[in-house]
C-alpha cells in the first residue's frame, strides 16, 4: 500500500477483484493547484494508454498531447470553480 501522507497530488489506478482496471483516480490537495493537476494528467494519460495497450512513446506524441489537453480542460473546468 502506498503512503499518501504529505503528498500534494497523485494519480492512482484502482483495480477490481480480477485485477483489471476499475477506474483511475487523480487527487490534488489544493483545489487551485494547476501545476500539480497538469503534472498528474501526464500520469493519467500514460495509465489509460497502458490499460488499453496503446504505446506511450514519441511515436504517439501528438495523440498523447491531445488526450492530455482533454483531461487538463476537464479538470480545469472543475478546479476553476474554486478560484475567486
Residue 22 in grid coordinates: 476499475
Nearest CA-CA partner of 46 in 68, 66, 72, 27: 68
Residue carrying C-alpha cell 478546479:
79
2 within 8 A of 47, measured Cβ to Cβ: no
Give the model's pLDDT for residue 65. Answer: 97
pTM of structure: 0.87
DSSP E strands in 1-84: the ranges are 9-15, 21-28
Using one digit for the tens of pLDDT, what is the confidence trace for 10-25? 999 999 999 999 999 9
Average pLDDT, the chain: 92
Amino acid at each position: 500500500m502506498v503512503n499518501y501522507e504529505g503528498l500534494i497530488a497523485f494519480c492512482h489506478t484502482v483495480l477490481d477483484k480480477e485485477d483489471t482496471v476499475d477506474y483511475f483516480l487523480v487527487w490534488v490537495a489544493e483545489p487551485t493547484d494547476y501545476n500539480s493537476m497538469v503534472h498528474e494528467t501526464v500520469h493519467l494519460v500514460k495509465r489509460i494508454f497502458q490499460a488499453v495497450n496503446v504505446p506511450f512513446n514519441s511515436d504517439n506524441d501528438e495523440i498523447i498531447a491531445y488526450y492530455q489537453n482533454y483531461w487538463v480542460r476537464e479538470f480545469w473546468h472543475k478546479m476553476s470553480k474554486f478560484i475567486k
